Amino acid sequence: MPIRVILVDDHAVVREGLGRLLGAEPDIEVLGTFDDAAAALAGMPRLRPDVAVLDIAMPGMGGIELARALGAAAQDVRILMLSMHRLPEYVHQSFAAGALGYLLKESAGREVIAAVRAVHSGRRYLGRGIDRALAYGAAGALGPLDLLSERERQVLRLVVEGGTSAQTALALNLSPKSVDTYRSRLMKKLGVEDLPALVKFAIRHGITGL
C-alpha cells in the first residue's frame, strides 16, 4: 500500500514541484495539496494521509501551529516540516509540536523522498545542512515560545499579522481588554518592548510568514 501524502505550502511552485517529485515514486501517493493550514486541517478527516509535509512559515496559521492542531485533534499522521530556516530553535519547536522530520527547502529536491519514507516508518529525519548536534540539543531544551500558553500564542499571531485588539478579540471570542492583557503578558515573558520587535520575533520563530 503506498504512503499517502499531503503537501501544505503557500507557494504554488513548491507544491507543484514536490507533488510531481513524490507522485512519480511507486510507493508514494499524493492525495492533495493545500495553500493554507486551515484548508489542510479541514481536509484531514476525509483524506486521512499517512504523512503531511508542512511549510513552517505561512500566512495565518503556520506549520508549527498546524502540527499542534493535528496533534490536539488526534490525527494519526506523521509530520515532516519544510523550512528555509536552519536555526536549532525552529527544529526544536517543530519536534515539540509533534513533527518527526525537518527538511530545508534549499536541499529538498529528491531528499524529500527519503524524508517522507523515514518519517512514515517512525524515524526522525534531519535534512542536509542542519547541524545535528545543535538541533538535537535544542530539541530537548526549552525555547522562548515554551513560555507562552496556547492562548498567548494565538494572540501573538493575530497581533503581529495586523489585527487590532477588537479584531483579535472577535476572532478568539475574548474581550478587547483581555486581548490587551494577553499581549502585555506575552511581551513581558518574551522580553519584547514594542510591536516591531514582536513582529521580528514572530517571523524568526515561525509564528507568521509575513
The Cα–Cα gap between 191 and 176 comes to: 22
Residue where the block lists cell 493575530 = 158
The Cα–Cα gap between 178 and 169 comes to: 8
Query: pLDDT per residue over 121-137, tens digit each?
Result: 998 888 887 766 555 55
The Cα–Cα gap between 154 and 103 comes to: 25
> What value does the mean pLDDT take over residues 11-23?
90
Angle at 165 between CA 58 and CA 151, to 5 degrees: 60
Domain 3-139, CATH: 3.40.50.2300
DSSP H helical ranges for 73-193? 88-96, 111-120, 132-139, 150-160, 165-172, 176-190
Buried b (16+ CB within 10 A) or exposed e, 52-88: bbbbbbbeebbbbbbbbbbeeeebebbbbbbbebbbb
In the chain, where does the domain assigned CATH 1.10.10.10 lie?
Answer: 144-204
Query: pLDDT per residue over 143-178, tens digit each?
Result: 667 677 888 888 998 888 888 889 999 989 999 999
In the chain, where does the domain assigned CATH 3.40.50.2300 lie?
Answer: 3-139
Domain covering 144-204, topology: Arc Repressor Mutant, subunit A (1.10.10)
